Amino acid sequence: MGIGWRPEIAEFVGGLPGLTFTEVIAESLHHPDPRLLALRDRGVRVVPHGVRLSLGGAEPVDPGRIAHLAHCAELVRAPLVSEHVAFVRAGGLEAGHLLPVPRSRDSLDALVRNVKATTAELGVPLALEPIAALFDWPDDEFGEGEFLTELVDRTGALLLLDVANVYANARNRGHDPVRVLESFPLDRVAYCHVAGGRESEGLYHDTHTDPVPAEVLALVAEAERRCPPEGRLGHLLERDGRYPPPSVLAAELDAIADAAGLSRIT
């Protein structure tokens, strides 16, 4: 069990007696916080989580960004790094946020090229996270599970399973989240994200600032039953802003651990 490391909650994270791993935004590691390095030195596994590689873009990945991710992995002695099945850049312009890739053959081929170019420069495995998206592209040729399965098969990459994203995407499309989950290459899962969200104007938004709903906790239990335990780091709570009191964060971590049938870390 783990929780994403953020400066605003660093003291809480550092005080968790049973913490086994954490995740840090790779782009924040240009000047690493001593409190994060103290966790590393304590034996807590630290995973750099990139948000700017733009693996899903038609353009080649920026070599400087790959080099930074590799440096982050070395700095924190990471067992692996993670990034998103998304693009953030097109035509030289930065979008400033993660955008979904079309699930087309051309898009898949571009992803495979970029993932292979990235993994060739990393000294550790790469896990890929499918994002929450409010829309699908009209030229999609694959279901999400089929798309991800071919992606990891062709690249050797691992899967970062964001249970909250699975729930959000399924709910907003009227699909059964368990069936969506079962379509994913669950034998390739490196670890899982869990996060909160809220309903707004008829859509469920994966906000990372709201409590984890009961439906996502139920899907955590389903994921735990279906993912092989060997080699997985476990479940990690994501919070990005509007941080609640430590007692509330601890209760959320306990709820996730209980749903997954794991030992509490608080």
The whole domain housing 58 covers 2-260
Beta bridge partners of 203: 200
pLDDT at 219 (0 to 100) = 98
In a domain, 266, yes or no: no
φ, ψ dihedrals at 191, nearest 5°:
-165, 175
In a domain, 236, yes or no: yes
Question: Rounded to whole angstroms, how far apart are CA atoms 86 and 160?
Answer: 13
Are residues 209 and 247 in contact, defined by beta-carbon separation less than 8 angstroms? no
Q: Residues 6 or more apart from 236 whose CB is under 8 A from it? A: 1, 2, 3, 4, 21, 22, 23, 191, 192, 193, 194
CATH of the domain at 202: 3.20.20.150
Query: Does residue 90 belong to any structural domain of this protein?
Result: yes
Gap between the Cα atoms of 84 and 127, Å rounded? 8
What pLDDT does 135 receive?
77
Report the number of distinct structural domains present in the chain. Answer: 1
Q: Which stretches does DSSP call E strand in the chain?
A: 2-4, 21-25, 45-49, 81-85, 87-90, 93-99, 126-130, 158-162, 189-194, 198-200, 203-205, 235-237
Length of the chain: 266
- d(C-alpha 120, C-alpha 16), whole Å: 35
Q: What is the mean pLDDT of each run of 10 residues along the chain (266 residues)?
A: 97 98 96 96 98 92 96 98 88 68 95 98 98 82 96 98 97 96 98 95 92 98 92 93 95 98 97
Q: What distance lies between CA 39 and its chain's CA centroid?
A: 20
Q: What is the pLDDT of residue 241?
A: 85
Assess if residue 265 is contained within a domain: no
| Residue 169 domain flag | yes
pLDDT at site 134:
81
Q: What's the pLDDT at 260?
A: 96
Domain membership of residue 99 (yes or no) is yes
d(CA 27, CA 119): 18
| Residue 95, pLDDT score | 52
Distances (CA, A) of 74 to 70, 82, 206, 254: 6, 14, 31, 31
